[in-house]
Amino acid sequence: MRLSGRVVRSGLCGGLFALAVAGTSAGAAEYTLTTVADNLDSPWSVVQLPDTGFLVTQRGGQLLRLAPDGAVTRLGGVPETYVAGQGGFFDIVLHPQFETNRLVYLSYAHGTPQANGTAIARARLGEDALEEVEQILLLEPLKDTPQHYGGRMLFLPDGTLLLTTGEGFDYRDAAQDLHSELGKTLRIDADGGVPDGNPFGDGASERIWTYGHRNPQGLALDEETQVVYLHEHGPRGGDELNAIVPGNNYGWPAITYGVDYSGAQISPFTAAEGMQQPLTYWVPSIAPSGMAWYGGERFPRWRGDLFVGALVDRDVKRIDLEDGLVAGEESLFSELDARIRDVRTGRDGYLYLLTDGPQGKLVRVGPAVP
């Protein structure tokens, strides 16, 4: 289901730390788009540092540090990564006490063509390299396909860490199997242990938080209500946005609004008892990737909304939330004409976008120049 929305048009100046160009649309917030960095090689995730610089992962296994003055450093000490198909480096997040402990968390594909899976490494950020690198999670079981890794992470207010995992493409039924960590969200302590409060035991993986997912690549926390939002890729159609609750089953592949890439039916059902319905879904697919909840002061009209990157639609969907439900959708930033891989809210109250591909960019969204 696609909700109606307006497309906002504005200009873009390319180049490192380029001048911004304002864009407006009737009924839409005014904004500027500024290229912070370009010539990024298939960037996947970005996080802003306290000094207003950035860390950027590239799917090929590189981690870049972008200094506030524009200097770019390729950091050493990164974990060994399985780069094939959709595999490589994925997300990066900072420990909630990063300013004192300098800890960062990376998700990535680990293993071989015959046995690979999503992993998390914890490390301390040094000047030009990661230090004290330790793998604290490796998905179980491993698989022999280079697709559907999930890979998004999110720290919860209690200091525990969520990780999304895909079902490996050829293992769709594993999403319903509580003995398998494929097609799930996992919750761990900051050191990789199993925290109190996870919903499953009795032979199930104790790290599982929710299940029934296909390939989730977006996580965001509503900092006012503490609701966790997740989006995931459907097959041909059926991309979903969900509000996730521990212990719940989100249906894949038993229920879906999509069909197989061949056009064949995956399931005759779009609803079933004990399986959650999405807040909204997209047919045809938008290929959602990256998501941010906005709570800043620079765009008052956008406060409390979600921003979802769309690889296929080459825009960002602003999801208007009212009382936890989707009240509308607006298409933004299509003038970039780029696949949007990640969307983040910065510490400075701006939105940041990563465009996908071998000539990727980091773009800042700010208020229009007066």
User: What is the arithmetic mean of pLDDT over 284-302?
Assistant: 97
Architecture, CATH, for domain 21-366? 6 Propeller (2.120)
User: What is the arithmetic mean of pLDDT over 125-130?
Assistant: 97
Q: Count Cα atoms within 13 angstroms, Cβ side, for 158.
A: 10
pLDDT for 1 beyond 80: no
User: What is the arithmetic mean of pLDDT over 323-352?
Assistant: 97
Question: How far apart are alpha carbons 6 and 19 in whole angstroms?
Answer: 26
pLDDT for 21 beyond 90: no
For residue 234, which amino acid is it?
G
Q: Cβ(357)–Cβ(42) under 8 Å?
A: yes
pLDDT band at 70 (very low <50, low <70, confident <90, very high): confident
Residues 31-66: tens digit of each pLDDT: 999 999 999 999 999 999 999 999 999 999 999 999
Q: Cβ(255)–Cβ(276) under 8 Å?
A: no
R_g (Cα) of the chain, nearest Å: 19
pLDDT band at 370 (very low <50, low <70, confident <90, very high): low
* 304 token code pair: 């409390």
Q: Is 148 known to be catalytic? A: yes
Question: How far apart are alpha carbons 29 and 297 in whole angstroms?
Answer: 13
Given 110, 148, 213, 233, the catalytic residue: 148
Q: In the chain, what are the domain boundaries?
A: 21-366
pLDDT for 19 beyond 60: no
pLDDT for 363 beyond 50: yes
- Looking up tokens 């990640």, which residue turns up? 342
Q: In what order do the strands lie in the sheet with 306-310?
A: 288-293, 306-310, 315-322, 325-332
Q: Where are the beta strands (DSSP E) in 9-129?
A: 21-25, 28-40, 43-48, 54-58, 62-66, 72-74, 89-94, 103-111, 116-125
pLDDT of residue 25: 38
Query: Interior CA angle at 118 toward 344 and 187, to 5°?
Result: 70
pLDDT of residue 100: 98
User: What is the arithmetic mean of pLDDT over 331-357?
Assistant: 98
For residue 361, which amino acid is it?
K
